[in-house]
């Protein structure tokens, strides 16, 4: 772990599962969405929705690689809408039910930090490094969450799922951040909790791909794709 960021000028963090407690934010959202959809359709649709988006209400965990773990909000809504169409008498009724039930998670109330992001980001800034965030979440809630964490002013660039530049593991998200920061991918570190994060790093030619076990994917999944595997960002040392 010592010297992991040697030769690195840009550090790109994933958001949910890396900076924020993924299961706390998205698990609560899934439960409430299921409750609202049950009411809107007057049918017991929640279990079907949970299974399709990859949420286990018993464990409160999200299945690795499932839509809830890797898809954009727009894509998750499309997946949910397809489930509801199976339960409704016609497309119009299904569309209305989704419209009535749909809501976005609270990006501030759900922003439970992992480790101490302000301290870590401050240390990275003081070391002369640039900080960026790459997330499949939309831009407005991402901005709100980073402000809630107290790190927004330390982040030089953000790439989000609704920016239209591809989503992980597509390299375009990372390459856009590198272009904005004027730092080549080879001098960039990517830190994330999913295989999609690490594959994005590989696809873009990042200098180092760091997996953290604080989110969705486990060591057996992340290990083969990671240059370094850490319990969480709290274990990252800035030198």
List of domains in the chain: 10-20+111-235 (3.40.50.1000), 23-101 (no CATH)
Contacts of 169 by beta carbon, 8 Å cutoff, 6+ apart = 195, 196, 197, 199, 200, 202, 203
For the purposes of burial, counting CB atoms within 10 Å of the CB of 159, is it exposed (0-12), middle (13-18) or buried (19 or more)?
A: buried
Query: Which pLDDT does position 53 carry in this prediction?
Result: 97
Q: Are 231 and 191 in contact (CB under 8 A)?
A: no
Q: Which tens digit of pLDDT belongs to each residue from 23-34?
A: 888 999 999 999
Look at residue 239 in the predicted model and tell me its pLDDT: 79
CB contact at 8 A, 103 and 36:
yes
Instruction: Read off the DSSP letter of residue 54.
Output: T
β-bridge partners, 10:
130, 188
pTM (2 d.p.): 0.91
3-state secondary structure of 228: strand
Give pLDDT tens digits for 87-143: 999 999 999 999 999 999 999 988 999 999 999 999 999 999 999 999 999 999 999
């Amino acid at each position: 772990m010592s010297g992991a960021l040697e030769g690195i000028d840009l550090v790109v963090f994933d958001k949910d599962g890396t900076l924020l407690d993924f299961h706390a934010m998205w698990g609560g959202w899934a439960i409430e969405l299921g409750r609202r959809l049950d009411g809107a359709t007057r049918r017991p649709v929640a279990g079907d929705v949970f299974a399709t988006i990859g949420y286990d209400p018993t464990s409160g965990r999200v299945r690795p690689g499932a839509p809830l773990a890797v898809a954009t909000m727009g894509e998750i809504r499309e997946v949910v809408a397809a489930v509801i169409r199976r339960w409704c008498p016609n497309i119009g009724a299904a569309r209305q039910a989704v419209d009535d039930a749909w809501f976005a998670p609270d990006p501030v109330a759900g922003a439970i930090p992992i480790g101490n992001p302000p301290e870590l980001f401050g240390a990275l800034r003081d070391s002369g490094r640039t900080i960026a965030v790459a997330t499949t979440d939309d831009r407005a809630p991402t901005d709100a969450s980073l402000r809630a964490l107290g790190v927004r002013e330390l982040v030089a660039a953000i790439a989000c799922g609704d920016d239209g530049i591809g989503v992980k593991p597509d390299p375009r998200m990372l390459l856009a951040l590198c272009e904005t920061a004027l730092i080549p991918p080879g001098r960039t570190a990517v830190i994330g909790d999913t295989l999609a994060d690490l594959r994005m790093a590989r696809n873009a030619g990042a200098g180092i791909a760091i997996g953290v076990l604080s989110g969705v994917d486990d060591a057996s999944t992340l290990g083969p794709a990671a240059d370094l595997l850490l319990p969480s960002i709290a274990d990252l040392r800035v030198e």
